Amino acid sequence: MTQSYDVIIVGGGHNGLVAAGYLARAKLSVLVLERRPMLGGACVTEEIALGCRCSTMSYVCSLLRPEIVQDLELRRYGFEMLACATSFLPLSDGRHLLLGLGPERDAEQIGRFSRADAEAYPRFNAALQRLAGFLQPTLALTPPDLAAPGLGGMLELIKLGGRFRRLDRVDQALLVKVMTMSIADLLDEWFESPQLKTMLAAGGTVGIYGSPRTPGTAFVLLHHGLGEAGGEAGGWGFVRGGMGGITQAMAASARAHGATLRTDAAVERIVVAGEVARGVMLESGEQIAGRVVVSNADPKRTFLDLVEPTALPPDFRRAIGRLRCRGNSAKVNLVLSEPPDFSCLPGDGPHLRGLIQVAGDDPEYHEQAFRDYAAGRPSRRPYLEITIPSLVDASLCPQDRHVMSISVKYTPLRLADGDWQSHRQELGDLAVETLAQHAPNLSGAVLHRQVLTPEDFETVYGLSGGNVVHGEMVPDQLFSMRPLFGWARYRTPVGNLYLCGSGAHPGGGVMGAPGRNAAREIIGDFRHRRVA
């Protein structure tokens, strides 16, 4: 091995770059190795047609921790949020639901379907924000080992219990429900209008094998409500220059403090000697020594592909193999000659500048879509989550063009009939045709189309199972169970090998908290001479 670093980070996605930024600031020598030609992992902006750039995978910013923005000085390095708030649902009967224009407008919109729901909606949001306020401090915690918590872990558990006891009893009960219930059952307790319920239900199905009726999906909705983008609880928005604007700022910040960042540097394996990670070997044959190796890859890719089987306890490796890591999304990215013109709400307006959902008229739409997915075929009537970021950020494409991002759910990794190479364009057709039922001008406006299947998620972007959150966000794969019971403290059975990606606590989304937490643990181990 001709080179040596204090820390080698495998994978240049956002969590790896966050870890690099903190570790470099701690005066450690840091090397980040990214196998793709660009940094960012699934948080990237790529040119999909001449002069037209799009957030090809992740498409909105909501969960990025404000302390990371501040600590790594991301605004200094070009990060800029463009706040948005609207959610728009076109309906088959020519009506629509448009939320996010303020409490009075929201009440007016919901009241067209149910006066009771118009009154319940702000109470529901307020309740979820109280629960988010309870959970947010846990995002910065290193989860205690419940089997052997030690004094520090016991103190954290006592603090957590104390905070739970200080919640109102109604919120205590709601928190237990949210952690265990399905999103559909939770919404049934609060609302009566199927239109509002179908708009909200989809938020519980990100990166999980299940429909809104699946227990545990209520927590997924809460997890995605933990964001504080733009300084507002539950806030979200676009990023100037696309989602790659986040990771490019992170990369610039890390470089400015001495980190070395390499692209086209695929790691073939993590070198382990004497039960301790000693560096990496690249696919090119190059070997690089490191006192510590940090994997930003998901747990399955890390332990089943990059670490030799003999270096891991057999029961640990078997448990990693059993992790539920099934994705349910595809992406269709379009270049358009004009924005969509919705029959139910014609012309330009705020409904085009936020989140657009094609989710049917009631939650049964999601259930039917999931049944197709479970049978091994793309949903014939898919749930679509759509953004048109060029209406907010003109830097993404020429003045006479627009880019559209469509997340297509539910889409299986493995097809029951055929393969993705032969069915790729059918998926693109399905997405466009489904949206065109509400915006008839769309079909004639498409100038270019990029279709990313779940297989692309896995092979191109390195997401095992096509799962965008590195493992399903379900109760038995959270907190002290993420990725496995006894191994939730960013360390692994291999000495000096750490995890920093979304497969570690607190999980998925463009949050950065796993990278920050892992870096804190690594810095502590260096300072206390626990690094061999």
Q: Give residue limits of the domains in the chain.
A: 3-41+61-76+241-324+469-527, 104-232
What values do phi and psi take at 501, rounded to 5?
-95, -170
The count of C-alpha atoms lying within 13 angstroms of the C-alpha of 138, restricted to the half-sphere facing its C-beta, is: 23
Question: Among candidates 483, 485, 498, 486, which has minimal Cα distance to 531?
Answer: 498
Cβ pair 198, 213 in contact under 8 A: no
Distance CA 52, CA 446 (A): 13
The topology under which CATH files domain 3-41+61-76+241-324+469-527 is FAD/NAD(P)-binding domain (3.50.50)
| Per-residue confidence in pLDDT tens, the chain, 532 aa | 568 999 999 999 999 999 999 999 999 999 999 999 999 999 999 999 999 999 999 999 999 999 999 999 999 999 999 988 899 999 999 999 999 999 999 999 999 999 999 999 999 999 999 999 999 999 999 999 988 888 888 998 899 899 999 999 999 999 999 999 999 999 999 999 999 999 999 888 887 889 999 998 999 888 888 887 766 777 789 999 999 999 999 999 999 999 999 999 999 999 999 999 999 999 999 999 999 999 999 999 999 999 999 999 999 999 999 999 999 999 999 999 999 999 999 999 999 999 999 999 999 999 999 999 999 999 999 999 999 999 999 999 999 999 999 999 999 999 999 999 999 999 999 999 999 999 999 999 999 999 999 999 999 999 999 999 999 998 899 999 999 999 999 999 999 999 999 999 999 999 999 999 999 999 999 999 999 7
What one-character DSSP code corresponds to residue 136? Answer: G
Distance CA 85, CA 81 (A): 13
Please return the burial class of 213, using the count of CB atoms within 10 Å of its CB with bins 0-12, 13-18 and 19+. Answer: middle
- Map residue 184 onto helix, strand or coil: helix
**Bridge partners, residue 402, by sequence:** 336
Cβ pair 293, 270 in contact under 8 A: yes
Distance CA 11, CA 40 (A): 9
Lookup: tokens for 319: 């448990």
Distance CA 465, CA 330 (A): 12
Chain position carrying tokens 């937490």: 517
Question: Among candidates 326, 325, 113, 135, which has minimal Cα distance to 200?
Answer: 113
Cβ pair 529, 155 in contact under 8 A: no
| Bridge pairing between strands 329-336 and 446-452 | antiparallel
**Phi-psi sector, 332: left (phi>0), alpha (psi -120 to 50), beta:** beta
Sequence-ordered list of residues with C-beta below 8 angstroms from that of 284, at least 6 positions apart, any chain? 265, 266
Question: Among candidates 90, 159, 148, 132, which has minimal Cα distance to 365?
Answer: 90
- Map residue 26 onto helix, strand or coil: coil
This prediction's pTM: 0.96
Question: Among candidates 218, 207, 202, 205, which has minimal Cα distance to 472?
Answer: 207
